[in-house]
Homo-oligomer: A and B are copies of this chain.
Amino acid sequence: MSRQDTGIRRATISDVAREAGVSPSTASVVFSGKTPVSDATRRRVLDAASALGYTGPDPRAASLRRGRSGIVGVVFEEHLGTAFLDPVKTLMMDGLADAVTPLGAGLLLLRDHEPTGSGPSLTTAPLDAAVLIGCSGLLRESLETVKARGIPVVVIEGDAGDDVPRIGLDNREAQRQAASHLRALGHREIAIVTLPARVDWQRGWLHDDTAVTVDVTRERLAGALDVFPDATAYAAAGSFIDEGFAAGREIFADPDRRPTAVIAQSDLLAAGVIRAAEEAGLRVPEDVSVTGFDGIVVDGLAPYELTTLVQPATDKGRAAGAAVAAMLEGIPAASIRFTCTFREGNTTGPAPALA
C-alpha cells in the first residue's frame, strides 16, 4: 500500500541472499565490505542482486541499524533563497560541503523557524549533526532542541554557550584595522554602513548602539567606533548592492555634511556605496574613500578593487565541517576564531584637503 505501487515490492537483501544461496549476513557484507568475502560468493551475490534489480541496501534501514544517517543539517534563520544571495554564505556552504563529503554526509537545508508547521525541523529530520548559521536570538530555540536530541552542533558566527564549538571571526579587530587605515590616511569624517541591526530590520540611521542585536553587526560596528567614536552609522536591511546604494544616497544627500570615507560592513554594501558616490558626482577614492568587508569578488564591480577585510569564508565552512567530523568521532571540537586579512585596493586614498 504505502509502497511504490508497482504491484510488487522491491527486493530486499534477504531476497538477494536467498537467490544467491547465502545468508543475509553474507549478502550484507558483500555490499558493505566490512568483512572479507570470497570472490566466488561476491560474484554470486552481485549477480543475484542485478537479477532481482536490487540496487543496494535501503538507506533507511541501514541508518537505523548504524545509528548514522549521513546527513548534516544546516540551519538558516532566513528564507532559504535569501541565504544564498549572500556570497559569503555561499562560500561557507562550499567549504562545508567539502568538509562533510569525505565523511560520507550530505547537507540538509533547514529553516530555523519553520512557518508552515509541518516542515522538517531539527526535531524530525534524521540528522547526525547540525550546523547553525547566524547569530540572532532565534537560534537559541533551535539550539535547545538539537542539544536535547543529543546531536553534535557547531555554530558559525554566533554565540551558543560554551559547550558548543563556535566558528567565528575577529570582526572587531579586523574592522578596527580598516578604520585605522582610514585614520592614517587622514580621514576624520566617517560614516558607517552596517549590516542589519536586528532581524527584520528596516534600513535607517542607527542612533542607539544598543539597538543592535546581531552579533556580527555589533562587533564590526564596535571595531569602527573604537577608532572613530563619533562616526555616524546607517544600518542597511541586508547585504546587497542595492542596500548599499540606498544607504549611500542617504549618506551623500547633504553636501555640507559629507563624510570623506565610508566604512561598509560588507563588500556588497561597499559596492552600492561606491555607486551612490558616483551618482552624487563624487570620485572614489579622490573625493571619498570606501572600505568593504568580506573580500569576496563582487560581480561587476570592476575596475574598482575594494579595500577590504578578506575573511576566509570557505575555510569557515570547512572548519565547521571538520568540527562536525570530530564530534562525530567523539572527539570534542574546539571553537575556532579566524582572522581577516586587510587588503588594500583602489577605493581608499588620502583624505581630500579641506574645502
Interface residues of A (CB under 8 A from B): 2-6, 10, 53, 55-56, 58-61, 63-64, 66-71, 79-81, 84-85, 87, 90-91, 93-94, 97, 101-111, 114, 116, 118-120, 123-127, 145, 148-150, 240-242, 245, 268, 271-272, 275, 297, 299-302, 330
Contact = CB atoms under 8 A, between A and B. Distances in A.
A6 B150 contact: yes
Contact of A300 (B105, B275, B330): B275
A105 B120 contact: yes
A53 B148 contact: yes
A81 B64 contact: no
A333 to B, nearest CB: 14
Please state the number of chain copies in the assembly.
2
Contacts of A301: 300
A60 B104 CA distance: 17
Contacts of A5: 330
8 contacts: A4-B150, A56-B124, A59-B126, A59-B127, A79-B94, A109-B109, A242-B302, A268-B299
A242 to B, nearest CB: 6
**In this complex, which of A4, A127, A275 has the most chain B Cβ atoms within 10 angstroms of its Cβ?**
A4
Given A271-B300, A299-B240, A90 B101 contact: no
A236 B5 CA distance: 45
Given A6-B150, A104-B120, A126 B81 contact: no
A55 B124 contact: no
A232 B4 CA distance: 50
Contact of A70 (B97, B124, B268, B272): B124
A300 B3 CA distance: 50
Nearest to A268: B299
B299 A242 contact: yes
Given A108-B106, A108-B108, A94 B70 contact: no
Contacts of A81: 90-91, 93-94, 97
B300 A245 contact: yes
A245 B301 CA distance: 11
A53 B148 CA distance: 7
B118 A101 contact: yes
Contacts of A84: 84, 90, 93
B66 A64 contact: no
A80 B55 contact: no
Nearest to A85: B90
B104 A119 contact: yes
A75 to B, nearest CB: 11
Contacts of A145: 55
